[in-house]
Amino acid sequence: MMRLSKLLFYSLVLFSTISCTQYAYFQSPLHTNTLGYREQPLKSENRPFALYANAAVATGNANEDLRDQLTAFIGAFHAAHQFGNFQAYYGSQLTLGGYKLLPYAPQIGTPTYFNSNLDETLINPHSGKNSFGALGFSGGINYLIPFPKGGEWRAFGLEANWNNQWGEYQDFRSELSTSAANLIDPSKKFATVAFTSDIIAKLNAGSIGYKFALGFRTGELTKYDRSGLPSKVLPGFFSNTLHYSYDRYAAYTQLNWGYSALSFHFGLSYRLR
């Protein structure tokens, strides 16, 4: 009985200690923020070409337990083409924002436990708001199935996005030692690919739709456990978009969640031609 009591006691101590372990995952702020909705005409509109201007605001959280915060503005232009039951778009986007990095213990008074791959003395000088920016290109293609009343199911889609990043948060990630955090994405280049499906209903005034996407970063990252042992991870994300279009205008809300990241978008589009 005494041996069992000791075993339970040490198990509880070990569990409470592990549960207090801090981790640091510094990914690109574009993770979960590259797949903004791009409006395209319905096939029933008989519009083979269209040009759009887009603007969106994004807010979200990242890092372990979503402890850090980020906000961003995203501006974009894109062209859309339709040929038969296929649609395609391509364009460029500019992202500007801020990443609020919270300091790690012991600076805030909570001891770190058993994470030999976390060095708060290298992280904490960069705590607070860090600017970031990115300029890039995006494109996609999908196959659609038209509905009798003018709506359609964009059943199978593939989208890609490439960006060049800069700013204080980029410099921090590029210069941080791999022994200071459990996961770091140091690259200035960031690209994703995603598989999409979008179902759209035609209304008396406009149209409404829901789009789902599953995406991944193009390239694995190295993750270190609290003992410093490395492993490979491929950060992915899910995207859910509700969108409404009327005449030349479109609006959307989007919820994205991925590997230690979460974001929400609200965006507007205007058809220029």
**Alpha carbon 139 to chain centroid, angstroms:** 16
| pLDDT value, residue 111 | 54
Q: Give how far Cα 215 sits from Cα of 90, 164, 221, Å.
A: 18, 19, 15
| Centroid of chain to Cα 154 | 22
Enter the DSSP assignment of 125: G
Q: Evaluate if pTM is beyond 0.85.
A: yes
Q: Mind listing the pLDDT tens digit for each residue in 25-62?
A: 999 999 999 999 999 999 999 999 999 999 999 999 99
Tell me which residue has tokens 């919820």: 255
Q: What is the residue-wise DSSP string for 64-110? A: GGG-EEEEEEEEEEEEEEEETTEEEEEEEEEEEEEEEEPPPTTTTS-
Fold entry, domain 54-271:
Lipocalin (2.40.128)
Q: How far is CA 56 from CA 93, 157, 216, 261, in A?
A: 11, 22, 21, 18
What does the alpha-carbon distance between residue 185 and residue 217 come to, in Å, rounded to a whole number?
11
The C-alpha torsion from 28 through 114 and 226 to 176, rounded to 10°, is 40
Mean of pLDDT values over 263-269: 98
CB-CB contact of 92 with 102 (8 Å): no
Share of the chain above pLDDT 70, in %: 90
Name which of 5-14, 221-230, 239-248 the model is least confident about.
5-14
Q: What is the pLDDT of residues 134-178, one digit of tens each?
A: 999 999 999 999 999 999 999 999 999 999 999 999 999 999 999
Looking up tokens 């860090």, which residue turns up? 130
Burial of 148 (0-12, 13-18, 19+ CB in 10 A): exposed
Handedness of CA 163, 102, 185, 188 (dihedral sign): positive
